[in-house]
């Protein structure tokens, strides 16, 4: 008869091992993206929520760029090491809003990378202009 204890041990190791071997990707810290924009994300609270600041390198407006606040949340990790997340930047120098969603990865060299997609909503005066009010794009962030 097969012994239950060693079998249970092997089974539990098989379940736990993948999460033990993987490096964790952590959102908190300073990041720069492929456009040269800088972002700082603060500590996550117990619900995975965070706040931070964003200094964009580019703007769709003619306004002078200023540091802007961001607010977001990270999905429950459930033992996983590469969490998904989303955040909103409420631009302080323009009447637009950007939402980012993405995933925090650890690459083959052990470096953390945020792969994101964003929607930038501009303010338009007339509903007939709604069709042209949203831009979409991607950004990749590296830890500073």
Candidates 5-13, 32-40, 73-81, 103-111 — which segment interacts with ligand BTN by CB under 6 A? 32-40
Q: Minimum distance from CB of 142 to ligand BTN (Å)? A: 13
Nearest to 104 by CA among 28, 40, 26, 19: 26
Q: Minimal CB distance to ligand BTN: which residue?
A: 37
CB distance 117 to 137 below 8 Å: yes
Strands 49-55 and 38-41: antiparallel
**Cα gap 117→139, rounded to integer Å:** 6
- Number of residues near ligand BTN (by CB under 6 A): 16
DSSP state of 57: S
Q: What is the C-alpha to C-alpha distance for residues 95 and 138, in angstroms, rounded to an integer?
A: 21
Site string for ligand BTN, 45-84 (x = CB under 6 A): -----------x-xxxx-----------------------
Q: What is the contact mask toward ligand BTN in residues 113 to 142, using x (rule: CB under 6 A)?
A: -----x-x----------------x-x---
Q: How many CA atoms lie within 13 A of 76 on its CB side?
A: 1
Q: How far apart are CA 40 and CA 70, in angstroms?
A: 9
Give me the least distance between CB of 52 and ligand BTN, in Å please: 13
Q: How far is the CB of 100 from ligand BTN (least distance, A)?
A: 8
Binding site for ligand BTN (CB under 6 A): 33, 35, 37, 56, 58-61, 91, 94, 96, 98, 118, 120, 137, 139
């Amino acid at each position: 008869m097969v012994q239950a204890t060693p079998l249970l041990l092997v089974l539990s190791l098989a379940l736990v091992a993948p999460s033990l071997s993987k490096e964790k990707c952590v959102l908190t810290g300073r990041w720069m993206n492929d456009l040269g924009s800088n972002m700082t994300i603060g500590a996550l609270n117990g619900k995975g929520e965070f706040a931070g600041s964003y200094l964009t390198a580019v703007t769709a407006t003619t306004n002078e760029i200023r540091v802007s606040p961001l607010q977001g949340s990270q999905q429950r990790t459930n033992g996983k090491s590469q969490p998904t997340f989303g955040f909103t930047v409420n631009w302080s120098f323009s009447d637009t809003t950007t939402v980012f969603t993405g995933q925090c990865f650890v690459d083959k060299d052990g470096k953390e990378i945020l792969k994101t997609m964003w929607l930038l909503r501009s303010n338009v005066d007339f509903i007939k202009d709604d069709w042209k009010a949203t831009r979409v794009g991607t950004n990749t962030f590296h830890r500073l």
